[in-house]
Amino acid sequence: MGKRTLIIYVVITLFVCIFAVMSGYSQEDVTTVEDSAFEEKMRPTVQFLHDEHNEAAGLEECDVCHHVYKDGEKIEDESSEETECSECHTLNKGDNPLSLVKVYHLQCKGCHQKEKAGPIMCSECHPR
């Protein structure tokens, strides 16, 4: 094996390793939003191609959605992707101004309205 071939093999192996490590952390398998707190759903499941969506929308920072708050302030550069939204936001519809459904709609629809991009109609997110 020539020196050059060896270098090429080493480089390819390196890339494969880096890719394997990175894909371990990415969420290629998240294609819907299915919070476990919703036991019986009134609407069809929301389609959400996690990685594809975030790439198309140019969202590189995970904490745009998976945020962390302390004393009412959002903490920069800290994220909560290991925690389901419902672990912090309760389902409770009554007196709680930010029920789980509301926070999902605020976050998803809120950004689409602000950016004037992405769906805002019920049936675009909850397709029949």
Interacting residues with ligand HEC (CB under 6 A):
27, 30, 33-35, 38, 41-43, 46-50, 52-54, 56-57, 59, 62, 64-69, 80-81, 83-85, 87-89, 98, 101, 103-109, 111-112, 115, 117-122, 124-126
CB of 74 to ligand HEC, least distance (A): 7
Neighbour count for residue 108 (Cβ, 10 Å): 19
CB of 19 to ligand HEC, least distance (A): 16
Residue closer to ligand HEC by CB (options 13, 32) is: 32
Residue closer to ligand HEC by CB (options 13, 27) is: 27
* Rounded distance between C-alpha atoms, residue 28 and residue 32, angstroms: 11
CB of 61 to ligand HEC, least distance (A): 7
Residue given tokens 């389901």 in the structure block = 84
Helices (H), the chain: 3-25, 50-56, 85-88, 100-115, 122-125
CB of 17 to ligand HEC, least distance (A): 19
* Rounded distance between C-alpha atoms, residue 33 and residue 48, angstroms: 6
Residue closer to ligand HEC by CB (options 11, 59) is: 59
* Rounded distance between C-alpha atoms, residue 22 and residue 45, angstroms: 28
Neighbour count for residue 125 (Cβ, 10 Å): 21
Residue closer to ligand HEC by CB (options 7, 122) is: 122
